[in-house]
Amino acid sequence: MGLGIQPARRRLLQAGLAALLPLPALSSAQGAAASRTIRLVVTTTGSGEALARALAGQLSQQLGVPVVVEPRAGAVGLESVARAAPDGHTLLLAHSGTLAMQAVAAGRGSTRSGDFVALGPVASQPLVLLVPAASPIHNVPDLLMHARFGSVRLAYASTGVGSAGHLAGELLQELAGVKLQHVPYKGLAPALTELLSGQVDLMFSALPPVLPQLESGRLRALGVTGARRSAALPGSPTLAEAGIKGYECAPAYGLLAPRGTPPEITAPLSAALAKALDNSAVREALRQEGAELLSTTDFTALLQAESEKWGRLLPKPGLRPE
């Protein structure tokens, strides 16, 4: 009697052997290897991490694999993705300001936007400019007067070098012709604590985390950084309306993969992102974080424009996210 294997058993055996072999980076049907987890690295805490977690669930459903959010702040997170294998299993959620700052950063080891391939835009997130309720600064003209003529330089807090709040402060100084003292903290909680106690004078922040303090009267909003007023703060002007001509700073978050990731991998990932952003739950999560879907579909072009913008404003050696 021969040792032939019945067709059904042969197929099962082949499937079992295939499971032991290295899987292709992506399958055309799902976009990700069927048995490997995708790491979604996010370089900003607070709202950035919330956006990542909102996306991860839907990306997992679209791709059929686990998507695990991995917070890794600043340059450490950027470099971990830039150095990862271009196989679709390590992705990055970062905002355009951080990537643009890296594009103008000097010195070896600086991760640049060219180290990534854009999978697509996610959302923009305007910020709100805040002062403590006890501050003598009640509006933007007050702020500029104190910055120009005060005996002590005003200090503004941020959640770290290269953060959205840091960039917003740098842009204010450039366009208003004033000098402020930047005080970076490791995350929102310590920065907000210092602002509320009056240890620093002002701060730029995403709106949702500071709404309780605004509603309780512990903080005062001077204005928002986007091109139009926030629906959640209709009484607060844009900084451009308040007198800082040309001011607009609304960091755009995008999804990226390591440079060299081939089109057969990036295409299904981009498609999964588009479907995830069309999900009502994801849109509601974005809304709750004060973020708005971007109208552009070309995140690469947006990054180029942001790099040129910050390249003109921030030609500072060694300036890079921490």
CATH class assigned to 127-224 = alpha beta
pLDDT digits (tens, 9 = 90+) for 105-127: 544 344 466 789 999 999 988 99
pLDDT digits (tens, 9 = 90+) for 117-162: 999 999 988 999 999 999 999 999 999 999 999 999 999 999 887 7
Look up the pTM and report it. 0.75
Give the C-alpha distances (Å, rounded to integers) separating 29 from 55, 57, 102, 259: 20, 18, 35, 23
Q: Say which amino acid occupies 2.
A: G
Lowest mean pLDDT among 14-23, 50-59, 105-114, 312-321: 14-23
Q: Please report the sign of the dihedral spanned by the C-alpha atoms of residue 87, residue 88, residue 94, residue 97.
A: positive
What is the structure's pLDDT at 304?
77
Section 286-303 average pLDDT: 82
Instruction: Write a three-state SS string for 57-78.
Output: HHHHHHHCCCEEEEECCHHHHH
- The whole-chain average pLDDT of the chain stands at 83
CATH class assigned to 36-124+251-313 = alpha beta
**Most confidently modeled of 14-28, 251-265, 277-291?**
251-265
CATH 3.40.190.150 domain position(s) in the chain? 36-124+251-313
Say yes or no to pLDDT of 7 above 80. no
Instruction: Write a three-state SS string for the chain.
Output: CCCCCCHHHHHHHHHHHHHHCCCCCCCCCCCCCCCCCEEEEECCCCHHHHHHHHHHHHHHHHHCCCEEEEECCHHHHHHHHHCCCCCCCEEEEEEHHHHHHHHHCCCCCCCCHHHEEEEEEEEECCEEEEEECCCCCCCHHHHHHHHHHCCCCCEEEECCCCCHHHHHHHHHHHHHCCCCEEEECCCHHHHHHHHHCCCCCEEEEECHHHHHHHHHCCEEEEEECCCCCCCCCCCCCECCCCCCCCCCCCCEEEEEEECCCCHHHHHHHHHHHHHHHCCHHHHHHHHHCCCEECCCCCHHHHHHHHHHHHHHHCCCCCCCCC
Closest CA to 249 of 190, 163, 320: 163
Q: How many CB atoms lie within 10 A of CB 155?
A: 17
Say yes or no to pLDDT of 280 above 50. yes
CATH 3.40.190.10 domain position(s) in the chain? 127-224
pLDDT digits (tens, 9 = 90+) for 61-96: 999 999 999 998 777 888 899 999 999 999 999 887
Better pLDDT: 30 or 236: 236
Q: What angle do CA 261, 264, 267 make, to 5 degrees?
A: 90
With a CB cutoff of 8 Å and minimum separation 6, the contacts of 284 are none
